[in-house]
Amino acid sequence: MALCLANSLVARRDYVPYDQLVRYKWWYRHGYMSSVGHCFDIGSATKHALAKFENRQEEFAEEHKIPLDQLDYLSDSKLLNKFNVHCGAEGAAGNGALMRLAPVPLFFYQHPTKAVEFSGHSGLITHGDRKAYDACRYYGALIMSALHGEDKEQMLDEDFYSKHEKWFNNKPLHAKILEVAKGSYKKDGYDQGIRGNGYIVDTLKAALWAFWSDNGDFEKGVLAVVNLGDDTDTTAAIYGQLAGAYYGYEKLPKKWVEQVYAKTLISGLSKWMVYEGSKWLPEESATSTISSVIVESASRDGNQSSFERARCSSAQPWTKQDQKFGPNSSAEKLDATSNLSSKFEQLNSHNAGHRSRQNNLLQPDPLVRSTSNRRSTSSHPKPPQHDDLTSVSKRKSSKFLTDNIE
């Protein structure tokens, strides 16, 4: 789903939640961007949201006289603003909202407030609980902090929210998420209750515990969080988003990188995403104000029904658009043979003076930061020292609650 989200940002050159849901649907129904050619794991909250999205698409097509075969390729912003993209069930607070997040702060890294708003909204469209929304806002802000060169001590400071309040548009975090932001994960791991189950608050704690206590070693952090058991793959993916943004490509274990499926495609997509993101401007975006409505309604009620009421009520006749955003468009053909050299040259020649370090999620790049001059965290209490974990723990993963709430 992270690749679907990244592809949407590149193809649309903007944050377009309708298009994101379309691509998630393609993944679910047809294996779009899947490493095995089909959807092999989906949480019930996400599945429910995509089913609701499909039903709304059919109703929308009938209401606006849109041919069904054109429904996935809508690009008229006035028309799209009439579609209610908030398909997450009320109370859905699974970790599936958080595991796909990274492309949003990477794309909008030059606009921290928008990056945080869109991070929250990207989870909200499939998970309607306020905690899911705010967990995504907070984690998006942490990734932004890493991309902007802050060290781990600053990122994990108990006053991180208050020191970055402008990034959050001065809107408060849910009490459960604020508790995490203040350091409730700074414990002795499994023995003191850290769990990587499917509940987004617990998963957030587990990922941050691993990042806090990984001793500057990405591999140890991944193995530590996996050894917590329960929903191991999702928790590790969430840890990896933040740790990858912080440590950089060169610090990833090479033996793991070599085994990544379609790594050339992913590397190309990541560069293209940063390139397009560098040109994005809020005033040119058709959706740049979408989250302001969501933040206000979430702060009031914190449930999906309030988001339903935020639906735009204006009407606009539909006109047929170019099918330039479909799975077979040029924007999607990001494989090893794609001719992206001109894009990369522009990307690599971009003035990086405004950034203090270099990094890309999957490949070094001058638009993002380097990993030099890191300081180890001095937060208190001191993180425990991990053992040199070389195998999966005897504590077997039970994927606790994943099938029900992810």
The CA-based angle 200-308-133, given to 5 degrees, is 20
Q: How many residues does the chain have?
A: 406
CATH class belonging to 2-405: mainly alpha
The residue among 164, 28, 157, 175 whose CA lies nearest residue 96 is 28
Helix, strand, coil percentages, rounded to 5, for the chain: 50, 0, 45
pLDDT of residue 289: 53
The CA-based angle 123-200-30, given to 5 degrees, is 50
The residue among 126, 105, 121, 111 whose CA lies nearest residue 53 is 126
pLDDT of residue 290: 60
CB 362 within 8 A of CB 266: yes
pLDDT of residue 248: 96
Task: Encode burial over 88-124: b for 16+ CB neighbours within 10 A, e otherwise.
Answer: bbebbbbbbbbbbbbbbbbbbbbbbbbbbbbbbbbbb
Residue 46: partners with Cβ closer than 8 Å, 6 or more residues away? 1, 24, 28, 94, 96, 126, 127, 406
Q: What is the pTM of this model?
A: 0.76
Amino acid at 403: D
Alpha-carbon span 399 to 61, nearest angstrom: 38
CB 225 within 8 A of CB 206: yes
**Cβ atoms < 10 Å from Cβ of 341:** 8
CB 402 within 8 A of CB 45: no
Using omega within 30 degrees of 0 as the cis cutoff, is the peptide bond preceding 327 cis?
Answer: no
Amino acid at 376: S
pLDDT of residue 342: 44
Beta bridge partners, 358, equal 369
Residues of the chain with pLDDT under 50: 291-381, 383-405
CB 402 within 8 A of CB 198: yes
DSSP per residue, 131-183: HHHHHHHHHHHHHHHHHTT--HHHHT-TTHHHHTTTTTTTPPPPHHHHHHHTT
| DSSP state, residue 97 | G
Beta bridge partners, 270, equal none
